[in-house]
A and B are shown apart, each in its own frame.
Chain A
Amino acid sequence: MTTLSASRENPPGGNPRAGNTAVPALLRGGRPLAGALLTILVLVAPLLGLNDYWARTVLLVAILSLQVSGLNIVLGHAGELAVGQVFLYAVGAYVTGYLGVSHGITDAGVIVVCAIACAVVVGLITGIPGLRLGGWSLAMLTFFLVLIIPNLVKVLESFTGGANGLAPPVPTLFGTPLGRDALYMLIVAVTAVWFLVARNLILSRHGNAFLVLKQSPVLAGSLGVSVFRLKLLVYVTGAIPACLAGVMFAWLDGFIAPETFTFTMALSILAASIVGGSTSIYGALAGAAIVQLGQQSFSSFQDWQLLIYGAFLLVAGILLADGLTGLVRGRARRIVRRFGVAAPAGRSAAPADAGPADLGALPGARLRTKALCKSFGGNQALREVTVEAEPGQVTALIGPNASGKTTLLNLVCGFYRPTSGTVELGGRELGGQRPYRIARAGIARTFQTPLIPSGMTTKAFVATGRYVSHRVRVPAAVLRLPAFRRGFAADDAEAVRLLGLLGIADVADREVDSLPLGTRRLVEVARALAARPAVFLFDEVGSGLDEGDLAGLERAIRMIRDAGGTVVLVEHNFPLVLGLADRIHVLSQGGLLVSGTPAEIQADPRVLAEYTGSNAAGKTIGSEG
């Protein structure tokens, strides 16, 4: 399965860059060429003497692979199980039949456009309700779609021909009816174009955003990505190939009856997706070929298919929950980590001589909470907390465990809704808004446990911070327009530059999830910087860092402050806080204990009592948590 999955860091447009995976750059540069050659070979195969049986097999594989690709996009990239491809397949087929039989429209181009429009409509109607909760709701909703096909066909008998079926006429292109070979080429060409579109979409920043979305909706939200809208985009995109498959099935068979569109077909698509690897682009072709050939080659397949698919889904679900790719990647990661752990020590000198660092102006904004309260049931996690963070200053939030620091952060970021009180950014009320809106308003954060997705390089991960602020639209990515190339190059350059500022430019091309904890924290800081927000929320960003990393972090925070940004530091590392903060707020048991300058806080007896209950000076406080 590993060999089937496309490498995510394929260069856009073929300019080979230094890579991180096992595929040598040379081979990767040659890949698009090999793909094109293979496509042409399949395309002209009938002229080279491909017989009817195999020509039909090729087309059936192509048609099935389109359906599988539709599932892969949703399952592999949005992480949602949607099995409604059969329904869309039926929609495509019946649209073709209806246009041909009732209106005499046979032009392939017109039919394809109509089918895509129908796919989008069906995608929106089912996706909007289904994706509100996602997970089981969407899976069941799409299963249900398959179940109601026979009923819908019957109810819409005047359009669908009911149980008698429909016989769409031979398709035409520019007025010429398509013969057997021409139809073959058309179907192969449409399939090839779809896979090119899918590849271009997935091997772009959008693909990286899908990965984040799948692995951590929380992170996606704090990048300013609306989880719901992006999932809907993926879901609707996945509806298109399935619908096209139906169109081509109608052309190929010249007859449509409701018995074709069954629950079992939905299972075969799911099985093919898992065989080929749901996250891989071309895996759909391999999976479809295996399932199609299996169905054709064994005469008793019909009798056994439920058992085969069932056993297959069970085994695959257990073994491949992370995919075979995941197994291999896990092993590779362990090897990398052995080197990775040693790396930071050698780097520690880097921040000092990293040259004149320039962040440009980062206009901050005043962040302010007023009488903010949060209770979970009867438990008051936060009581009437009023704090401020000024632009161009570092504001620290300290307090023992369970004092409400992270709750406060989650309220600011919109992960919780305030029970009462307000959160204001530069005078604008934010309380109760969704996380992605708050992120777009200019608040970026890092996480106590860094949220690091797997399957992308460090610089690609840092660039996700720019996904919303420096957006390249989907059509530009699919068509590989100059805007896309410029955006991609600019993202990379900025990511490498920011990693350099933090003194970790050397990890730019490494898999981001292979990095040790300390480096992950710095990478998160770089990711936050990439969005160029007004406010930075750093949640225990200093814990787990060694001396060298800590120096890089301190330097970066000072830089942000000097550039004018608002920094909020939630920290247990007391010396770090004393050294950096302009103002410190101490939380205790959900309430604000005291606010002041580092000197005032250090001298405050209540703070000492809260932390240690003893008379020692504040130098050993940082160790807990």
Chain B
Amino acid sequence: MTTIWAGLATGALYSLVAIGYNVVLLASGVVNFANAYLIMIGTFLAYVCLVDWGLPVAAAIPLTGLAVAVIAVVEERIAIRPLLNRQGGHAALITTVGVGTLLGGIAAKVWGTEPVRVPSPFSAEPLTLLGGTIQRNDLVLILLVLALGVGLHLWSRRTLLGLASLATAENRQAAQARGLNVRALGLGAFALAGLIAGLFAVFVAGRTYAHFHLGETLALFGFVAIAIGGSGSQLGGLIGGFAIGLLYAVTARYVGDSYPQIVVFAVFLLILLTRPRGLFGGAAERQV
């Protein structure tokens, strides 16, 4: 059971990244590769708030959230906005990888290349739950990510803003013609994704430490979560993330330390080969 708890906690990280991807994907049609790097920067900013400035957790969390949201908005303005009017190409792919790398470089330059421990808001005393042990921080992380994923799923289906976002993802021009401000939606989506990344950073750091290389792994595993869940499906991404986390933990426990990434990669290949639109995604038709 301890393995399962560990898997769920790791999976929560991947789900969190997948949620961030989906928020932006739904509004802008762009996969924001830098999303995981926003979380990474968030963990360092949380460290600054908690340790350097000695702020209480209740102040550090919203402050980190706002700061990362601002970074995300800046990213949208410089890396995404100039590309929106261009047809085709994968320019956003390159620019968001660029932003992620830049954030990684900044983190390495400012805070060094060694992992930094961020103080957890919870005691280090593990809980015994359903026959396994789990850190309090991890349990909170799992529950919060679950709540966030389900909440966003309902929000996108039930509210006007959520539906508008879905419509924009479906067809930008048509949404624009209906009077939707697609630019504001896109910017809002980046702000929201940044806010989420920042708010959760404290809990993420409680599990992983703050490290400049954190972004790469999270970015890829978060994408596998989307590949499993179907792009744009918040519920699918949530389930995909937890599924990979469990797979990772179980493989690491029963096969060996070197295998989890390889196994996840094999699953990724398999999904792309057999269900390229994800287990929960529908088929899209091409148009002339």
Asked if A321 and B79 make an inter-chain contact with CB atoms under 8 angstroms apart, the answer reads no
CA distance A130 to B219 in the complex (A): 17
Q: Are the C-beta atoms of B288 and A310 separated by less than 8 Å?
A: no
| Tally of contact residues, B, Cβ under 8 A | 51
- Whether B98 contacts A321 by the Cβ 8 Å rule is no
Binds A, one of B5-13, B47-55, B125-133, B261-269: B261-269
CA distance A309 to B105 in the complex (A): 9
CB of A140 within 8 A of CB of B223, answer: yes
CA distance A136 to B92 in the complex (A): 10
Cβ B31 vs Cβ A132 within 8 A: no
A303 to chain B: which residues have CB within 8 Å?
108-109
- Which chain A residues lie closer than 8 Å to B124 at the CB level? none
A residues in contact with B286, CB < 8 Å:
218, 415-416
Are A140 and B220 also in contact (CB < 8 A) when A155-B258, A312-B98 are?
yes
Indicate with 1 or 0, residue by residue over B217-258, a CB within 8 angstroms of chain A CB atoms: 101100110010000000000000000000000000000101
B62, CB-defined interface residue at 8 Å? no
CB pair A132–B276 under 8 Å, yes or no, is yes
- The reply to whether A310 and B103 form a contact with Cβ atoms under 8 Å apart is yes
Chain B residues positioned under 8 Å from A80 (CB to CB): 90
B101 touches A267 (CB 8 A): yes
The answer to whether B90 and A306 touch across the interface, beta carbons within 8 angstroms, is no
Mark out the residues of chain B between 107 and 143 whose CB falls within 8 Å of any chain A CB in the assembled complex.
Answer: 108-109
Instruction: Establish whether residues B262 and A151, one from each chain, have CB atoms under 8 Å apart when the complex forms.
Output: yes
| Nearest CB in chain B to that of A267: its residue | B101
Q: Is A144 an interface residue (CB 8 A)?
A: yes
User: A143 on the interface (CB 8 Å rule)?
Assistant: yes
Q: A342 near B: Cβ within 8 Å? A: no
Distance, CA A212 to CA B42, complexed state (A): 43
- Whether A417 pairs with B97 at a CB distance below 8 angstroms is no
- Of the candidates B104, B109, B256, B262, which one forms a contact with A152 in the assembled complex, judged by CB atoms under 8 Å apart? B262
Chain B residue with Cβ nearest A376:
B285
Listed residue (A128, A270, A317) with the most chain B CB atoms within 10 angstroms of its CB: A317
The answer to whether A314 touches B95 (Cβ under 8 A) is: yes
A186 contacts chain B at the CB level, 8 A cutoff = no
Q: Is A417 touching B285 in the complex (CB atoms < 8 A)?
A: yes
Contacts of A483 in B (CB 8 A): none
Question: Which residues from chain B contact A129 at a C-beta distance below 8 Å?
Answer: 268-270, 272-273, 276
CA A123 to CA B102, docked complex, whole Å: 30
Contact of B261 among A133, A147, A308, A312 (CB under 8 A): A147
Residue B154 at the chain A interface, CB threshold 8 Å: no
- The answer to whether the Cβ of B159 comes within 8 Å of any Cβ in the partner chain is no
Question: Does the CB pair A304–B90 fall under 8 Å?
Answer: no
Report chain A residues within 8 Å CB of B265: 144-145, 148
B89 within 8 A of A: yes
Per-residue CB contact flags for chain A residues 317-337 toward chain B (1 = under 8 Å, else 0) read: 110011000000000000000
In contact, A415 and B223 (Cβ under 8 angstroms): no
A274 to B91, CA, bound (A): 11
A215: interface (CB < 8 Å): yes
Asked whether A151 lies within 8 Å of B101 as measured between CB atoms, the reply is no
CB nearest to A222 among chain B residues: B288
Q: A140-B220, A141-B269, A155-B258 are known contacts. Are A135 and B90 too (CB-CB below 8 A)?
A: yes
A interface footprint on B268-281 (CB within 8 Å = 1, 0 otherwise): 11101100110000
The chain A residue sitting closest to B99, CB to CB, is A314
Which residues of chain B come closer than 8 Å to A410, judged between CB atoms? 287-288
Stretch of B65-73, B80-88, B182-190, B192-200 with 4 or more beta carbons under 8 angstroms from chain A:
B80-88
In contact, A314 and B262 (Cβ under 8 angstroms): no
**Shortest Cβ gap from B83 to chain A (Å):** 6
- Contacts of B100 on A, CB cut-off 8 Å? 310
Q: Is A81 part of the contact surface with B, judged by Cβ < 8 Å?
A: yes
Q: Is B78 on the interface with A (CB-CB < 8 A)?
A: yes
B104 touches A310 (CB 8 A): yes
A281 contacts partner chain B, Cβ-Cβ < 8 Å: no
Question: Which of B101, B261, B272 makes the CB contact (< 8 A) with A310?
Answer: B101
User: B272 and A133: CB pair below 8 A?
Assistant: yes
Return the contact of B105 from the options A130, A133, A307, A317 (Cβ within 8 A).
A307
Q: Which of A128, A130, A137 has the most CB of B within 10 A?
A: A137
Closest Cβ neighbor of A278 among chain B residues = B94
Whether the pair A317, B272 counts as a contact (CB closer than 8 A) is no
> Is there an interface contact between A130 and B272, defined as CB atoms closer than 8 Å?
yes
Do A313 and B273 contact each other (CB < 8 Å), given the known contacts A144-B268, A154-B258, A410-B288? no
Q: Answer whether residue A406 sits at the interface, using C-beta atoms and an 8 A cutoff.
A: yes
Contact A274 B94 (CB under 8 A): yes
User: With a CB–CB cut-off of 8 A, which chain A residues contact B105?
Assistant: 304-310
Q: Are the CB atoms of B79 and A137 closer together than 8 Å?
A: no
Are the C-beta atoms of B95 and A147 separated by less than 8 Å? Answer: no
The answer to the question of B150 belonging to the interface, with a C-beta cut-off of 8 Å to chain A, is: no
Whether A314 contacts B272 by the Cβ 8 Å rule is no
Closest B residue by C-beta to A273: B94
- Tell whether B163 is near chain A: CB-to-CB under 8 Å: no
The answer to whether B258 and A318 touch across the interface, beta carbons within 8 angstroms, is: no
Chain A nearest CB from B34 CB (Å) reads 10
| Bound-state Cα–Cα, A416 to B285, Å | 7
Q: How far does the Cβ of B107 sit from chain A's closest Cβ, in whole Å?
A: 9
In the complex, are the beta carbons of B101 and A318 less than 8 A apart? no
Asked whether B147 is an interface residue with its Cβ less than 8 Å from the other chain, the reply is no
In whole Å, how far is A156's beta carbon from the nearest beta carbon of chain B? 10
Would you call A311 an interface residue if the criterion is a C-beta within 8 Å of the partner chain's C-beta atoms? yes
A147/B220 contact (C-beta < 8 A), A141-B268, A318-B79 known: yes
Cα–Cα, bound, A144→B91 (Å): 20
Decide yes or no whether A574 CB sits under 8 A from chain B.
no
Q: What is the bound-complex CA distance between A148 and B219, given in angstroms?
A: 14
Cα-based distance from A560 to B95 in the complex (angstroms): 49
Give every chain B residue within 8 A of A313 (Cβ-Cβ).
Answer: 94-95, 97-98, 101
State which of B91, B224, B259, B269 has its C-beta within 8 Å of the C-beta of A318: B91
* B106 located at the interface, meaning its Cβ lies under 8 Å from any Cβ of chain A in the complex: yes
- Whether A79 is near chain B, meaning CB under 8 Å from some CB there, is yes
B93 within 8 A of A: yes
Our pick among B109, B223, B288 for the contact of A136 (Cβ within 8 Å) is: B223
Q: Note all chain B residues with C-beta closer than 8 A to A270.
A: 94, 97
Once bound together, how far apart are the Cα atoms of A322 and B272, in whole Å? 29
- Residues in chain A near residue B94, CB distance under 8 A: 81, 270, 274, 313, 316-317
Which partner residue on chain B sits nearest A308 by CB separation? B105
Given A81-B90, A155-B258, A218-B288, A128 contacting B273 (CB threshold 8 A): yes
Contact with A along B1-43 (1 / 0, CB 8 A): 0000000000000000000000000000001000000000000
A263 at the interface (CB under 8 A from B): yes
A-B contact pairs, 18 of them (CB 8 A): A79-B88, A81-B93, A136-B93, A147-B220, A151-B261, A270-B97, A303-B108, A303-B109, A306-B101, A306-B108, A307-B106, A309-B101, A311-B98, A314-B79, A317-B91, A318-B78, A321-B89, A415-B288
Name 15 extra pairs, CB < 8 A, besides A141-B269, A316-B98. Answer: A129-B269, A145-B265, A155-B262, A304-B105, A306-B101, A309-B98, A309-B101, A310-B98, A311-B98, A312-B98, A313-B98, A314-B95, A314-B98, A317-B79, A318-B91
Q: Which 10 A-B pairs have the closest CB atoms?
A: A306-B105, A313-B98, A310-B102, A310-B101, A314-B98, A307-B105, A317-B95, A317-B94, A129-B272, A321-B91
